[in-house]
């Protein structure tokens, strides 16, 4: 965090263009009517929070035993609880309510990888399938509070698995199917999962991934695992290893079960799920969400940020392996009784019109994706959008990283036909649901700004150095929140002190997001990105420390420093500086540009091979989505006399802010007097830019 001030000073200026909401003929009345209504309700949610949340929780969720206590605890001890004497069941709220009322209504539309192959699953079918899986889990001995790992492709069964856990009070830990065996193993062991749910293979972009083989590799080092339940996505049994003692086929197990399973009584504060996310240190954190507060955040944001009405078709293009998939594919839409789309494919398969074909085919009303996809599609050209009507859309959303104004405007004009409101939604795994966003047809928008806070969210901007709150408008600092909100994470699984250290202790009395932010002259929030050692690649959160740990595992690596570099499509990309163990000692002590240009002892081929090995090392330890963009093998890293790596130098050199050793270029690096060996700067510049 020491670099926070420097990172924030690099932020751009804010364009002034404002887009005012327009009413469209034939659209249903908005769930929030006007900006005045937003302001009034927001004010109440802050000033009279108990009344606001009491009403919201009672009117939004079905309670088996209603609560009488609204909120207790605070940030300092991390003992926040909401509605804590109430009982309810998440699955009953998401599924049973609608299965009873409107059984034939479509709950899930599955758009498979191949265009034209899709399925409609009704609420009654969803109910039945979830009950069957819940009974399978019970038959495996899973009980309330047990953690079940879910490593699934984008098929409806991934949602069945999550909801089945919720039904019996088990805690799901979904691991994104792009993670490697090592990453899966660590997550399974961390939560001591007895059961892993997976599929034979995944299918995406016409390619198959070997999920079961990866699971086997992971589970081989997980003594806690007793059962692996395998869904047949492709049915390629010859390619799928099966261990009869431990493994069970999904279809065989559900065939044995009764299609009804009573929902377990769950306390508001019982855990609903764990989701691992990257932090500033190497080990991923198991962010834990509890039941009622999380559900309330998911339900309310879908209703108000996306203006969902009961006949809507909600199309969130994320993966269930990330928080966006949890909240906006699974829980949020279903809690509103809306139809949710499970999209197995990718935006460019079989061509860059795939999203728009999907929108038209299923008459999607809310479309939600990430800036990286928008930027990539914009690059590929408007011709891929032109054939589609896109006239079912009422709200289009963006999430995962700041959206640059050019991408925003393209999204607005090409996809929104200059009339559909964009919601640029800011939130995090830890916040559970959206915390800063415009409301469609209500909030005037500015491209690149997430605009205003959601109900109950009280942002504070702090000076990163002094920790003082910067009041008023036109201020830049780190983004904190001032009061607990229902869907906030309650702990880090198995490590509450880490939870306190990361979120509660950096600024006493506040929750710290890790992001830098500007509040402009109109009170609008512009999230700038992370001020810690977390980088955001295509909306995927990665810890530089975690990538460094992966690199260090290579027997020839002595040291590594990873930073984020700007990338036109992925937002940021992974740039690694690596120091090898066998760098000749004299090269380190007499650093100069001539050393940098010296042929590497491995020769050019050896160097290429080494670089490939290092890329592979990261992919194997984390997953293919964490593939480094560039690896620079350097004789040393810039360090202070006390041995601290000066990342600011690495960042500026990698980002091309400094390309030569001319004095005025070097001066852009700021004060270098604390560097143990100032010669390293020239070496790095030569390595990166020659």
Residue 303 makes contact with ligand WTA by CB under 6 A? no
Size of the site for ligand WTA (CB under 6 A): 23
- Identify any residues that bridge with 113 across adjacent strands, giving them in sequence order: none
Torsion over CA: 534, 450, 343, 372 (sign): negative
Closest separation in Å from C-beta 368 to ligand WTA:
11
Provide the minimum distance between the beta carbon of 536 and ligand WTA in the complex, in angstroms, as a whole number: 6
What's the closest the beta carbon of residue 293 comes to ligand WTA, in angstroms? Answer: 17
Question: Which CB sits closer to ligand WTA, 395 or 595?
Answer: 395
Query: DSSP characters for 360-400?
Result: HHHT-SEEEE-HHHHHHHHHH-GGGTTT---TT-SEEEEES
**Closest distance of CB 525 from ligand WTA, Å:** 9
Place of tokens 């709200």: 395
Q: Which candidate, 264, 521, 538, places its Cα nearest to that of 399?
A: 538
Q: Is 518 in the site for ligand WTA (CB under 6 A)?
A: no
Residue 460 in contact with ligand WTA, rule: CB under 6 A: no
Q: Does 373 bind ligand WTA (CB under 6 A)?
A: no
Long-range interactions of 653-662: CB distance < 8 A, separation 24+? 653/681, 653/684, 653/685, 653/688, 653/689, 654/563, 654/565, 654/575, 654/577, 654/630, 654/688, 655/565, 655/566, 656/689, 658/685, 659/685, 659/689, 660/685, 660/689, 661/593, 661/685, 661/686
Q: Which is nearer to ligand WTA, 31 or 398 (CB)?
A: 398
Among 424, 532, 546, 636, binds ligand WTA (CB under 6 A): 424
Q: How far apart are CA 627 and CA 177, in angstroms?
A: 15
Give φ, ψ of 586 to 5 degrees: -65, -30
Residue 438 interacts with ligand WTA (CB under 6 A)? Answer: no
Q: Rounded to the nearest whole angstrom, what is the least distance from the CB of residue 462 to ligand WTA in the complex?
A: 15
Q: Which stretch binds ligand WTA (CB under 6 A): 165-173, 355-363, 523-531, 633-641?
A: 523-531
CA distance 219 to 184: 8
Could you tell me which stretch among 42-50, 256-264, 466-474, 509-517 binds ligand WTA (CB under 6 A)? 509-517
Residue 340 or 425: which CB sits closer to ligand WTA?
A: 425
- Phi and psi at residue 275, in whole multiples of 5°? -140, 125
Comparing every residue's Cβ against ligand WTA, the nearest one is 429
* Rounded alpha-carbon distances, angstroms, from residue 637 to 68, 164, 275, 663: 58, 50, 34, 20
576 three-class SS: strand
Q: Which is nearer to ligand WTA, 30 or 400 (CB)?
A: 400
What are the E-state strand segments in 64-117?
71-72, 81-82, 87-88, 106-111
Q: Binding segment for ligand WTA among 34-42, 74-82, 412-420, 424-432 (CB under 6 A)? A: 424-432
Angle (deg, nearest 10), helices 123-139 and 156-167: 60
Q: Does 78 bind ligand WTA (CB under 6 A)?
A: no
User: Between residues 203 and 436, which has the closer beta carbon with respect to ligand WTA?
Assistant: 436
d(CA 542, CA 263) in angstroms, rounded, equals 36
Q: Measured between alpha carbons, how far is 433 from 431 in angstroms, rounded to an integer?
A: 6
Q: Which stretch binds ligand WTA (CB under 6 A): 106-114, 243-251, 344-352, 427-435?
A: 427-435
Taking the C-alpha atoms of residue 82 and residue 77, their distance in angstroms, rounded to an integer, is 15
Q: Does 538 bind ligand WTA (CB under 6 A)?
A: no
Residues 600-659 touching ligand WTA, rule: CB under 6 A, are none
Q: Under the criterion CB under 6 A, does residue 426 sit at the interface with ligand WTA?
A: yes
Beta strands in 153-297 (DSSP E): 171-174, 195-199, 202-204, 207-209, 227-231, 247-249, 266-267, 271-277, 285-290
Contact between 570 and ligand WTA by CB under 6 A: the answer reads: no
Is 455 a binding residue for ligand WTA by CB under 6 A? The answer is no
Q: How far is the CB of 385 from ligand WTA (least distance, A)?
A: 22
Cβ closest to ligand WTA, residue 432 vs residue 456: 432
Instruction: Assess 507 for contact with ligand WTA (CB under 6 A).
Output: no
CB of 295 to ligand WTA, least distance (A): 17
CA angle, corner 264, sides to 263 and 265, nearest 5?
120
Q: Which helix (H) or strand (E) holds 511?
A: strand 511-519
SS3 470: coil
Report if residue 425 touches ligand WTA, rule: CB under 6 A: yes
Q: Give the residue, chosen from 299, 323, 341, 457, that forms a contact with ligand WTA under the rule CB under 6 A.
A: 323
Interaction mask 267-286, ligand WTA, x per CB under 6 A: ----------x---------
Among 401, 533, 548, 559, binds ligand WTA (CB under 6 A): 401
Which is nearer to ligand WTA, 268 or 428 (by Cβ)? 428
Please tell me whether residue 339 binds ligand WTA under the rule CB under 6 A.
Answer: no
Residues in region 539-568 near ligand WTA by CB under 6 A: 541
What's the closest the beta carbon of residue 558 comes to ligand WTA, in angstroms? 31
Helix (H/G/I), strand (E/B), else coil: 249? strand
E-strand stretches of 458-510:
459-462, 475-481, 491-492
368 is a contact residue toward ligand WTA (CB under 6 A): no
The residue from 93, 428, 433, 445 that contacts ligand WTA (CB under 6 A) is 428
Max Cα distance, the chain (Å): 77
Residue 381: CB minimum distance to ligand WTA, A: 25
Q: Report CA-CA distances (Å) from 340 to 156, 158, 308.
A: 10, 13, 11
Q: Could you list the residues that contact ligand WTA (CB under 6 A)? A: 277, 322-324, 399-402, 424-429, 450, 513-515, 527, 529-530, 536, 541
């Amino acid at each position: 965090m020491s670099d926070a001030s420097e990172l924030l000073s690099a932020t751009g200026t804010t364009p002034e263009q404002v887009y005012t909401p327009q009413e469209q003929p034939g659209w249903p009345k908005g769930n929030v009517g006007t900006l005045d209504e937003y302001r009034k309700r927001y004010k109440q949610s802050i000033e009279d929070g108990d009344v606001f949340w009491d009403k919201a929780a009672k009117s939004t969720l079905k309670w088996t035993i209603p609560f009488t206590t609204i909120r207790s605890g605070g940030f300092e001890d991390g003992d926040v609880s909401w509605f804590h004497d109430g009982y309810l069941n998440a699955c009953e709220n998401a599924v049973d309510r609608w299965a009873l009322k409107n059984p034939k209504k479509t709950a899930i539309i599955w758009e498979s990888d191949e265009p034209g192959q899709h399925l409609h699953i009704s609420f009654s079918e969803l109910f039945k399938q979830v009950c069957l899986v819940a009974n399978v889990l019970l038959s495996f001995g899973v009980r309330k509070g047990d953690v079940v790992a879910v490593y699934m492709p984008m098929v409806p069964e991934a949602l069945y698995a999550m909801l089945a856990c919720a039904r019996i009070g088990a805690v799901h830990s979904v691991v994104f199917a792009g993670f490697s065996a090592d990453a899966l193993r660590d997550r399974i062991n961390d939560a001591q999962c007895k059961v892993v749910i997976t599929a034979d293979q995944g299918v995406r972009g016409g390619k198959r991934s070997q999920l079961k083989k990866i699971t086997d590799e992971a589970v081989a080092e997980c003594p806690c695992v007793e059962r692996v339940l395998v869904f047949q996505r492709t049915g390629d049994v010859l390619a799928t290893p099966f261990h009869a003692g431990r493994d069970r086929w999904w279809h065989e197990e559900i065939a044995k079960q009764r299609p009804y399973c009573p929902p377990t009584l769950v306390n508001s504060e019982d855990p609903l799920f764990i989701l691992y996310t990257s932090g500033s240190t190497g080990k991923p954190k198991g962010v834990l969400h509890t039941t009622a507060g999380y559900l309330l955040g998911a339900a309310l944001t879908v209703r108000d940020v996306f203006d969902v009405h009961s006949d809507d078709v909600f199309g969130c293009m994320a993966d269930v392996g990330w928080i966006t998939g949890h909240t906006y594919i699974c829980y949020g839409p279903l809690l509103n009784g809306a139809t949710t789309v499970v999209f197995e494919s990718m935006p460019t398969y079989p061509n860059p019109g795939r999203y728009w074909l999907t929108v038209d085919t299923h008459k999607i009303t809310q479309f939600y994706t990430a800036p990286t996809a928008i930027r990539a599609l914009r690059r590929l050209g408007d011709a891929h959008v032109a054939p589609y009507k896109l006239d079912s859309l009422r709200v289009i959303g963006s999430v995962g990283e700041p959206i640059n104004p050019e991408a925003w405007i393209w999204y607005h004009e090409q996809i929104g036909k200059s009339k559909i409101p964009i919601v640029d939604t800011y939130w995090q795994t830890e916040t559970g649901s959206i915390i800063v966003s415009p409301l469609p047809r209500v909030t005037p928008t500015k491209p690149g700004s997430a605009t205003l806070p959601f109900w109950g969210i009280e942002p504070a901007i702090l000076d990163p150095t002094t920790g003082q709150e910067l009041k008023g408008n036109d201020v830049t600092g780190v983004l904190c929140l001032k009061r607990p909100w229902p869907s906030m994470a309650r702990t880090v699984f198995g490590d509450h002190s880490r939870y306190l250290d990361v979120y509660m202790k950096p600024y006493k009395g506040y929750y710290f997001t890790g992001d830098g932010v500007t509040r402009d002259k109109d009170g609008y929030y512009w999230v700038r990105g992370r001020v810690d050692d977390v980088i955001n690649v295509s909306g995927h959160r990665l810890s530089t420390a975690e990538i460094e740990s992966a690199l260090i595992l290579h027997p020839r690596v002595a040291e590594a420093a990873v930073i984020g570099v700007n990338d036109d499509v992925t937002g940021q990309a992974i740039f690694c500086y690596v120091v090898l163990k066998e760098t000749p000692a004299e090269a380190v002590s007499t650093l100069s540009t001539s050393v940098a240009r010296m042929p590497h002892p491995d020769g050019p081929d050896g160097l290429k091979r080494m670089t490939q090995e290092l890329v592979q090392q990261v992919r194997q330890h984390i997953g293919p989505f964490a593939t480094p963009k560039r690896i620079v093998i350097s004789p040393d890293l810039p360090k202070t006399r006390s041995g601290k790596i000066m990342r600011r130098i690495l960042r500026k050199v990698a980002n091309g802010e400094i390309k030569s050793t001319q004095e005025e270029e070097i001066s852009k690096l700021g004060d270098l007097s604390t560097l143990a060996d100032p010669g390293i700067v020239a070496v790095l510049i030569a390595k990166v830019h020659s």
